[in-house]
Structure 1
Amino acid sequence: MSFVAKRSLALVNIARPFSSRFYTTEAASGNLLNRLKDDRKTYMRSKQQPDLNVVKSVISEYTYYIKSPNAPTNHSEDAMVLSVLQKSIKKRQDSIAQYTAGGRPELAANEQQELVVLQRYLPEQMGAAEIEEKVRELVEQVGATSMKDMGKVMKAWTVDPAAADRKLVSDAVKKALS
């Protein structure tokens, strides 16, 4: 066996315990993160560059998010991935608005394509009518009567933020209390 072959075999044996640790514990614990990683592999194989770039950026942002000192420790992995997804979606929506206002429709179209890719990973969104109905029920449960009670209603809202945009919920609460 040549020196190069022995050296590469030794490197593989050294790296094996570390790589198996990362792939077995981290990937097995979260459903949404696994889906992102599987899609990354699929997009790499099929050379779908725009979709691949979006998925890689979300995985990268998630990695930075969990390593940051102010990352929540009591949330599930899926909740943290959804938080990163929502931040990415918000960035894309802001960029679309700015590019459109600045007269750059080609850049707005690129951001719109990325937004569509990101929205594939969100759970099914609640409609405006469904949100208003739940808010009305919640206002009755809490006993809210005026805009001063808006904080109570918002605090009592328990629906997953990924399923119902907080801005829509806030607007529905304002409408119900006014």
Structure 2
Amino acid sequence: MKALLKGALYLLLLLGLAFVAGGFLLPASSHVERSILIERPPGEVHAMLNSFQRFNEWSPWYELEPTAKYAYSGPQAGVGAAMSWQGEKVGSGSQRIVESVPPSRIVNALDFGGTEATARFDLQEEGAGTRVTWSLDSQHGYNLVSRWFGLAMDSMVGKDYEKGLLKLKQTLEDGPH
């Protein structure tokens, strides 16, 4: 019995060491990126993304919890426009536009209850439409749990970004021109 406990203790110690050592070998940042072609001019797409007033029309998270509470602050559009949310399924957080370069780029600062990230929309004219690239960048620093979590970021967030971009495309292309 004593040998079994001693073996279990060594195994636990070895697993802990592997977690720490492995965590320091993982990247200190994560990047997720998806894109779609929307048959609308860049200025029209930029106008939609430059405000949070219509965010829930195309947000991949809104239908997950339509009863979540949303609050808006700052200007209605452009740098300083902000939105916060609180819900049981979607958690709580906020985002704020920190850079807006019409008609080519919008950068949002995200805060998920102390975990910060940056979301970016790059808009490139392509044919008669706009190539919209939505990306997310997270810095993990020396947070080992965050580094391990970063390994799954693309598979978790990527699907939501694909769904959101498709809804954005439908919203813009089906709406008034």
Tell me the TM-score normalised to structure 1 length.
0.32
Greater share of residues in helix? 1
With CA pairs under 8 Å and 6+ residues apart, which has the higher RCO, 1 or 2? 2
TM-score relative to the length of structure 2 = 0.32
